[in-house]
Each structure stands twice: as structure tokens, then as C-alpha cells.
Amino acid sequence: MTLLLLACWEATPTDSGFVEPVDTSPVLEIIGDYLASDGAVVVVSSTSWRTDDRTDTIVEFSNSSNMLTAENDHTSDVAGTYSRYDWRSDGGQWFVCRSTETAETAEDAALADRAPDDDCNGADWVSLTLAL
């Protein structure tokens, strides 16, 4: 009896001729530890967006749309609702805006309008500087 096992993944050839698998899972492009222009400490991971003592849980993200939705921290005054975070890059500098903070569902947050580049709910977009 012959047993044939097949594995499916994307792969790239190497100089040695061996083929190595390529991780095709999306990675949130804005991951990092930052100091924000408003004085906050912002830590973005693949699973959460933390601003000072508030940690929102990331539900979904789109690098091509520069946005993510997150369930608001259970200890915040908007617990049980969802936020939409938008970001943009200008000259290598990240700018972020929480376009909505009280959506009833993650889908509602994702469908919320993106804030215009010159106004984040009556304030400036916050710039992020990588903390070293």
C-alpha cells in the first residue's frame, strides 16, 4: 500500500533549489509601540490596540483600507460597543483616528465613515512616533 500525503502552501524557490514555504497570513501593518502626539502611549499588536490603560480587542483589520475594528475595553465607559480605528501614512509618519467609538457591532464599526484627513471628530489626527 502506498500512502501519499499532500501539503498545500505557497512556496518560493531558494538559491539551493529547495523550496521554502511563505507565510501568506496577513499582518497588521501598524504593529508597534508608539508615543502619540497627544501624550498617550499606544501599543498595537496583532490582537489589541492599547492606549495608556485602555485595551481594545481587535476583531478585524484591512491594511488596504487602513482600518481596523475593535471591541472596546470592558472597563471603559463605552464597554460593550465597538470602535473603528483609521490610519494613514504621510512621509513615513503614521497618523491615527478613532473614527467611531460607540458602534453596536463590529460590522457597524467597519461600515462607519472614515474620518476626513483634516478632522478626527473635531480634533486633529494623532501622529505616532515609534518608541525606542
Distance CA 26, CA 23 (A): 8
Which pLDDT score, from 0 to 100, does residue 95 have?
97
Contact at 8 Å (CB) between 131 and 34? Answer: yes
**What average pLDDT does the chain have?**
86
Domain map of the chain by residue range? 26-130
The neighbouring-strand residues paired with 89 are: 94
Closest CA to 10 of 1, 19, 18: 19
- pLDDT, one tens digit per residue, over 67-102 is 999 999 999 999 999 999 999 999 889 999 999 999
Distance CA 106, CA 87 (A): 17
From the number of C-beta atoms within 10 Å of its C-beta (0-12, 13-18, 19+), residue 56 rates as buried
Which pLDDT score, from 0 to 100, does residue 3 have?
37
